Amino acid sequence: MTRRSFLTPAAAAAPALLLGRKNGGERPNILFIASDDMNNALGCYGHPVVKSPNIDRIAARGVRFDRAYCQYPLCGPSRTSLLSGLRPDTTRIWDNQIAIRDKVPGAVTLPQLFRNHGWRSVRVGKMYHMDVPGSVGTDKWDDPPSWDAAISPPGKEQHTEGDRHNIPGTGGRGVWQWIAFEGGGKDQADERATELAIETITTNTGKPWFLGLGYLRPHLPNVAPARFFDLYPLSSIRLPANPPGDRDDIPRASEIAINTRANDMGMNEQGRREAIRAYFASVSYMDWQVGRVLDALEKSGQVEKTAIVFWGDHGWHLGEHHRWHKRSLFEESARAPLIVAARGFKGNGKGCRSLVEFVDIYPTVAALAGLRGPSTLEGQSLVPLLDNPARTWKKAAFTQVSAPGGIEGRSVRTDRYRYIRWTGPHPDQELYDHQADPGEFTNLARKPRENAGVLERMRAILDAGWRAARAG
């Protein structure tokens, strides 16, 4: 795609059916920001160390969802579910190397919905799945019907020159490392994405736009300028407090599903601190990019008519349960940030403790623009929570994961408990009481007699499924 075609608006599509927006009669712009492998290590989520002033700016003008859960803690399935509004069992996408049209050819995705109703739909960076770093700069597994214009900026990634560290035992593979470099980052994909996003915002002022802006960081390799590493002296890094024997009651299926060594990847204490610092540095580097985009949006005069959504595709373990990956059903992997900032809602500036799911994002963003998504959507609009973050909402959130050999895990998270059922060659179950054990260290399912009542109730919620857990 040429630079000219990327920056020039396409012809207008059919007019939108506007359904009671809170935007003074104007069709709002949508700034839809994704961060790859982003857990809840952000200042606005109460993290004591991480510096994220710009994402905090979004939270200050919107609603921060404190318990938002992805439907599958892996990039491809999670993003496909979120952007289609369909759960993984409906999309039938349970792994990364599958495009949405291969399984759901008739899907109307969230950006496609906006495109169909006259918004200019633009993608910059990673929205659908793209292997990082291997496919950076390509359109791998993207969805052309979603966009009027799309670009995947290339970047140096693992080839960046700088202070380089490899995680032991990974063979120096491109992904399992972190690099602190000096000087500017104009050759990094995220900085290039930021420049293109700013140009999109400042040149597309004549018609409403939907901008999907996907950042790679903090996905490994953790590549960032040294000044962001300097924000985090090793003495400030707290290692997770894993109690002795924590892994003793974790099922075999769970260990297989995460697909990495569950022994801290062979890192000693120094290495673990350095790995956490590298993740935090990548978060702050990504946050700086977000700030540049927000500044450009404000300078363009469009901020008041733009709804901003920030989300991570799933969480990421930083040593909890001695794990350093995603693809688990623990809280650190299934939970991720979600912030929705739109003008005129009473809940703006507040946090919401209600259980919400990433399939809820599609109907929420559509409703903010006065659009109706397809009747097949499997989430609920969160707009009522934007006005009243304290209202009673869903009874449960559902997350699933699978692994080779027929292993399948399904999790249900209620206000107090998480229950996980594993099927396949290693059938098992897990039960955690978040009121007494927020770190999910004690698997109560190992004492089935003492916890028979709770196990029965949680199994019933899981078996009843997401429809029975919807908000009334």
Ramachandran angles phi, psi of 108, nearest 5°? -110, 105
Catalytic residue, candidates 129, 219, 321, 325: 129
**What is the 3-state secondary structure of the chain?**
CCHHHHHCCCCCCCCCCCCCCCCCCCCCEEEEEEECCCCCCCHHHCCCCCCCHHHHHHHHCCEEEEEEECCCCCHHHHHHHHHHCCCHHHHCCCCCCCCHHHHCCCCCCHHHHHHHCCCEEEEEECCCCCCCCCCCCCCCCCCHHHCCEEECCCCCHHHCCCEEEECCCCCCCCCCEEEEECCCCCCCHHHHHHHHHHHHHHHCCCCCEEEEEEECCCCCCEEEEHHHHCCCCHHHCCCCCCCCCHHHHCCHHHHHHCCCCCCHHHCCHHHHHHHHHHHHHHHHHHHHHHHHHHHHHHHCCCHHHEEEEEEECCCCCCCHHHCCCCCCCCHHHHECCEEEECCCCCCCCCEEEEEEEHHHHHHHHHHHCCCCCCCCCCCCCCHHHHHCCCCCCCCCEEEEEEECCCEEEEEEECCCEEEEEEECCCCEEEEEECCCCCCCCCCHHHCCCCCHHHHHHHHHHHHHCHHHHCCC
- Establish whether 129 is a catalytic residue: yes
* Beta bridge pairs of residue 341: 308
Task: Verify cis geometry, omega within 30 degrees of 0, for the bond prior to 221.
Answer: yes
- Contact between residue 339 and residue 347 where contact means Cβ atoms under 8 Å apart: no
Given 75, 314, 317, 352, the catalytic residue: 75
Side chain identity, residue 106:
G
CA nearest 65: which of 384, 462, 469, 468? 384
For residues 302 and 23, the answer to whether their CB atoms sit within 8 Å is no
- 75 counts as catalytic: yes
Look up residue 469 and give its two tokens.
Answer: 């857990």
Give me 297's structure tokens. 């949006």
Q: How far is CA 271 from CA 11, 161, 167, 266, 274, in A?
A: 53, 20, 8, 9, 5
Active site amino acids: 75, 129
